Chain A
Amino acid sequence: MLRDIAIDFEKITAKNTPKECMISSGHRACQGCGEILAMGMVTKAAGRNIIVANATGCMEIVTSPFPQTAWKLPWLHVAFENAAAVGSGIEAAVKVLHRQGQIKKKPHVICFAGDGATADIGLQSLSGALERGHDMLYVCLDNEAYMNTGIQRSSSTPWGASTTTSPAGKQSKGQHTQKKNLPLIAAAHGIPYVATAAPAFHLDLMNKVRKALAVDGPAYLHIYAPCPTGWGLAGSKSVEIARLAVNTKVFPLYEVIGGRFVISRKPAKPQPVLDYLKLQRRFRHLSEKDVAEIQRSVDASWDYLERLAKATGKGEE
Chain B
Amino acid sequence: MEKKRVGIEVSLAVAEAVKLARAQVVSAYPITPQTHIVEELSTYVANGELDAEFIPVESEHSAMSAAVGASAAGARVYTATSSQGLALMHEILFIASAQRLPIVMTVANRSLSGPISIWNDHSDIMAERDIGWVQLFVEDGQEAMELTVAAFKIAEDHRVLLPVAVNMDGFILTHMIEPVIFPAQAAVDAFLPPYKPALRLDPAKPVTMGPVGVPEVYMEAKKQCEQALLDSKAVVAEVLKEAGKAFERKYDLIETNGKKKAKTLFVTMGSLGESVWSAVDSLNEDGEDVGQVRIRLWRPFPEQEFKKACKDAKRLIVIDRAMSPGSACGPVAQELKGVFYKDKNAPEIVNVVAGLGGRDVPVADFKEMYRLAKKGKLAKTYTLWGVDSNA
Contact = CB atoms under 8 A, between A and B. Distances in A.
Interface of A: 48-51, 53, 60-61, 64-67, 69, 71-79, 81-82, 84-97, 99-100, 102-103, 105, 107, 124-125, 127-128, 131-132
Nearest to B217: A66
Interface string B59-77: 1011101111111111101
B56 interface: yes
A82 B75 contact: no
B208 A64 contact: yes
Given A74-B203, A89-B55, A89-B73, A100 B24 contact: yes
Contact of A66 (B53, B92, B206, B214): B214
B12 interface: no
A90 B73 contact: yes
Size class of the B contact interface (CB-based, 8 Å): 35 or more
B51 A86 contact: no
Interface in B25-81: 25, 27, 51-53, 55-59, 61-63, 65-75, 77
Given A66-B211, A128-B57, A51 B201 contact: yes
B288 to A, nearest CB: 52
B73 A94 contact: yes
B210 A88 contact: no
Given A92-B66, A93-B70, A60 B25 contact: no
B286 interface: no
B212 interface: yes
Contacts of B27: 88-89, 92
A88 B69 contact: yes
Given A82-B61, A128-B62, A93 B24 contact: yes
A159 to B, nearest CB: 30
B382 to A, nearest CB: 36
Given A79-B91, A82-B61, A100-B51, A92 B206 contact: no
B184 interface: no
A91 B211 CA distance: 21
Given A65-B214, A90-B69, A73 B206 contact: yes
**Residue among B55, B99, B213 having the largest count of chain A Cβ atoms under 10 Å:** B55
Given A69-B211, A93-B73, A94-B73, A88 B91 contact: no
A79 B65 CA distance: 8
A127 B58 CA distance: 9
Q: Which 5 A-B pairs have the closest CB atoms?
A: A89-B69, A128-B58, A89-B66, A93-B73, A77-B210
A71 B208 contact: yes
B248 interface: no
B69 A93 contact: yes
A66 B55 contact: no
A131 B62 CA distance: 13
B210 A78 contact: yes
Given A66-B212, A88-B62, A75 B69 contact: no
Contact of A97 (B72, B74, B217): B74
A76 B56 contact: no
B61 A51 contact: no
Contact of B69 (A53, A72, A73, A102): A53
A69 B61 CA distance: 27
Given A74-B206, A81-B61, A128-B62, A89 B74 contact: no
Contact of A61 (B59, B206, B212): B212
B131 to A, nearest CB: 14
A65 B69 contact: no
28 contacts: A64-B210, A74-B202, A74-B207, A74-B209, A75-B206, A75-B207, A76-B201, A76-B210, A78-B69, A78-B95, A82-B65, A84-B62, A86-B66, A86-B69, A88-B57, A89-B25, A89-B69, A92-B25, A93-B53, A93-B69, A93-B77, A95-B53, A96-B75, A100-B24, A107-B203, A125-B58, A125-B61, A132-B56
A95 B69 CA distance: 13
A243 B202 CA distance: 36
Contacts of A82: 61-62, 65, 92
A218 to B, nearest CB: 13
A97 B201 contact: no
A78 B58 contact: no
A81 B221 CA distance: 23
Contacts of B62: 82, 84-85, 88, 124-125, 128
Nearest to A76: B209
Given A64-B210, A64-B212, A100-B24, 6 more contacts: A66-B213, A66-B217, A78-B95, A85-B66, A89-B66, A132-B55
Contacts of B24: 93, 96-97, 100
A96 B203 contact: no
Contacts of A51: 73, 201, 203
Contacts of A131: 58
A124 B63 CA distance: 12
A124 B75 CA distance: 25
